[in-house]
Amino acid sequence: MNIQKQLIGGKWVLSSSNETREIINPFNQEIIAEVAEGNAEDAKQAIQAAREAFDKGEWSRTLATERGKLVRKIASLIERDKEELARLESLDTGKTVDESRDDMDGIADVFHYYADLAGKNKGEMIDSPIPNTISKIVREPVGVCAQITPWNYPLLQASWKLAPALAAGNTLVMKPSEITPLTTIKVFELMEEAGIPAGVTNLVLGAGSSVGDELSKNTAVDLISFTGGIETGKKVMQAASSNVKKLALELGGKNPNIIFADADFETAVDQAMNGVFFHAGQICSAGARLIVEESIHDKFVDALVKRVRNIKLGSGFDQNTEMGPLISAEHLEKVANYVETGLKEGAKLAVGGGKPEDAALKDGFFYLPTVLVDCTTDMDVVQHEGFGPVITVEKFSTEEKAIHLANDSVYGLSGGVWTEDIAKAERCAAQMRMGTVWINDFNVFFAQAPWGGYKQSGIGHELGTKGLEEYTETKHIYHNIDPQPMNWFGKN
């Protein structure tokens, strides 16, 4: 098996320690690739390469419209290689190929969107209050950006960071999750093919405790953008204080989905499942916390359980499969413990709650789609992100109570509200303390709208114009066109 390499300063290289890591298919534990296992030393070299490339200015001073053309070229290459990328993503993560194809479409859109914005990253003239002066604001690239991505949406999360960073004129070092690096490696090849100059995009593979830690604390890095778990995010934040880096964090959520009795019942049941079971619930915005109006609670749970029981588990490459495995044995164990905790706390199992018995799935990291009822906000299972195919169900009696329950969380990434009453929907959306609120929908995101969390779900934004702003510094340039002596000091 060829060892897949890292990209440092325009050269594809092995790890300086020569160590490698096997990449496992979570459906059957087969080894699908062997990749270089980078370390802190490799990260330092990549940061230096990015630093030199930035300071030389070749990329940051390239006309923004030209940068935009190259970013668009990356989008076209992703479209050209969509099938291969989707296949790789499914092999690496276990998700269905249809889900991976959707991811690839979204990823190409993100590169197209920032390609368009690159040439429109305009500044602003200020009405100066001082006569004979010109005052203007310009946006400039931040410098060297370190980008750390997770394993659930490996290339999607990477695209949200790569495209705006490049469009704005930065250089970068990316570290994908050590367990799902394959599509990211491929896209670094495509960025090279598109003509991004050597040293602008650097890729280091390896563990968070070595490579990730170095990227977070290295003082030659100007900005760190991290997507991952809340505890790791706190470590990154601490390490980033070494040189007061610019910081962007996306740390997941425990996202409430409020269902009022006047919602379109069938659609709400159907979408409650879409909200949580894509990629086996391993989604930062999963609607894993259903909050259902008392009067329809039992009927809703019955309808939900009936459909959840029918979800077909299997290989992501089987057209009949609706849900694939979890990412790793370690994560499977974590999800199983999470459900156990809920049951000990008094939640009741309505369906699922274990590994499937099907012999065809025995080598995969599968967990049954699970619904827990009789849940209350004080339970750990309601408060903590489970990141698996598990829904907790709570009841409410009034609109006020529903909003209170939804907001009773350290997280604030996203939430949904289902009702046919437009005014009620708007009242709820206005009061829900989250970065994204969906009305009569769930889990929808696109390049044009910003994505970010309130509270401990994170800092800063990805996507939209705000996603580009994260990768720019704001400079005020003040020009006195009629300079005169002030004669303030030492006149006689």
Residue 77: CB minimum distance to ligand TXE, A: 24
- The number of C-alpha atoms within 13 Å of 146 and in the hemisphere containing its C-beta is 34
Amino acid at 313: L
Considering beta carbons, is residue 10 or 229 the nearer one to ligand TXE?
229
Residue 19: CB minimum distance to ligand TXE, A: 15
Question: Is 375 an annotated catalytic residue?
Answer: no
Binds ligand TXE (CB under 6 A): choice among 208, 256, 275, 460: 208
Name the segment binding ligand TXE (CB under 6 A); options: 74-82, 85-93, 231-239, 391-399.
231-239
Helix%, strand%, coil% for the chain, nearest 5:
40, 20, 35
User: Considering the rule CB under 6 A, would residue 314 count as an interface residue with ligand TXE?
Assistant: no
Name the segment binding ligand TXE (CB under 6 A); options: 22-30, 69-77, 80-88, 203-211.
203-211
Name the segment binding ligand TXE (CB under 6 A); options: 209-217, 286-294, 395-403, 463-471.
209-217
CA 258 vs CA 131, 184, 261, 264, 417: distances in Å? 56, 36, 10, 13, 5
Strands (E), 263-412: 289-293, 348-351, 370-373, 390-396, 411-412
User: Considering the rule CB under 6 A, would residue 409 count as an interface residue with ligand TXE?
Assistant: no
SS3 276: helix
User: Considering the rule CB under 6 A, would residue 415 count as an interface residue with ligand TXE?
Assistant: no
Report whether 277 contacts 98 (CB < 8 A): no
Considering beta carbons, is residue 148 or 432 the nearer one to ligand TXE?
148
Residue length of the chain: 492
Catalytic residue among 250, 293, 394, 462: 250
| Chain-centroid distance, C-alpha 202 | 20
Considering beta carbons, is residue 109 or 213 the nearer one to ligand TXE?
213
Residue 334: CB minimum distance to ligand TXE, A: 6
Q: Tokens standing for 17?
A: 């320690």
Q: Tokens standing for 374?
A: 């009789």
Binds ligand TXE (CB under 6 A): choice among 33, 236, 286, 372: 236
**Main-chain dihedrals φ then ψ at residue 163, nearest 5 degrees:** -60, -50
Mask 15-44, x = binds ligand TXE (CB under 6 A)?
------------------------------
Question: Is 284 an annotated catalytic residue?
Answer: yes
Mask 268-307, x = binds ligand TXE (CB under 6 A)?
----------------x-----------------------
Considering beta carbons, is residue 33 or 425 the nearer one to ligand TXE?
33
DSSP state of 478: E
User: Considering the rule CB under 6 A, would residue 213 count as an interface residue with ligand TXE?
Assistant: yes
User: Considering the rule CB under 6 A, would residue 387 count as an interface residue with ligand TXE?
Assistant: yes
Give the other-Cβ count within 10 Å of 98's Cβ. Answer: 14
Q: CA 77 to CA 82: how far, in whole Å?
A: 8
Q: CA 253 to CA 409: how far, in whole Å?
A: 9
Site for ligand TXE in 250-269 (CB under 6 A): 250-252
Q: CA 180 to CA 188: how far, in whole Å?
A: 14
User: Considering the rule CB under 6 A, would residue 159 count as an interface residue with ligand TXE?
Assistant: no
Binds ligand TXE (CB under 6 A): choice among 209, 219, 267, 398: 209
Maximum alpha-carbon separation in the chain:
97
| Total residues at interface with ligand TXE (CB under 6 A) | 25
Catalytic residue among 145, 284, 375, 428: 284
Is residue 436 exposed (0-12), middle (13-18) or buried (19+ Cβ within 10 Å)? buried
Binds ligand TXE (CB under 6 A): choice among 228, 275, 415, 416: 228
Name the segment binding ligand TXE (CB under 6 A); options: 136-144, 221-229, 300-308, 438-446.
221-229
What is the residue whose two structure tokens read 């992100």? 385
Q: Tokens standing for 366?
A: 């599968």
| Chain-centroid distance, C-alpha 87 | 20
Q: CA 413 to CA 406: how far, in whole Å?
A: 11
Mask 171-190, x = binds ligand TXE (CB under 6 A)?
----x-xx------------
Report whether 37 contacts 30 (CB < 8 A): no
Binds ligand TXE (CB under 6 A): choice among 6, 48, 96, 152: 152
User: Considering the rule CB under 6 A, would residue 364 count as an interface residue with ligand TXE?
Assistant: no
Name the segment binding ligand TXE (CB under 6 A); options: 100-108, 143-151, 373-381, 442-450.
143-151
Q: CA 383 to CA 44: how far, in whole Å?
A: 38
Q: Tokens standing for 392?
A: 């907790």
Q: CA 141 to CA 61: how far, in whole Å?
A: 10
Residue 190: CB minimum distance to ligand TXE, A: 21
Four-CA torsion 28, 29, 30, 33, nearest 10 degrees? 130
User: Considering the rule CB under 6 A, would residue 321 count as an interface residue with ligand TXE?
Assistant: no
Binds ligand TXE (CB under 6 A): choice among 150, 154, 325, 342: 150
Residues that are catalytic: 250, 284
Q: Which residues bind ligand TXE (CB under 6 A)?
A: 148-150, 152, 175, 177-178, 207-209, 212-213, 216, 227-229, 232, 235-236, 250-252, 284, 385, 387
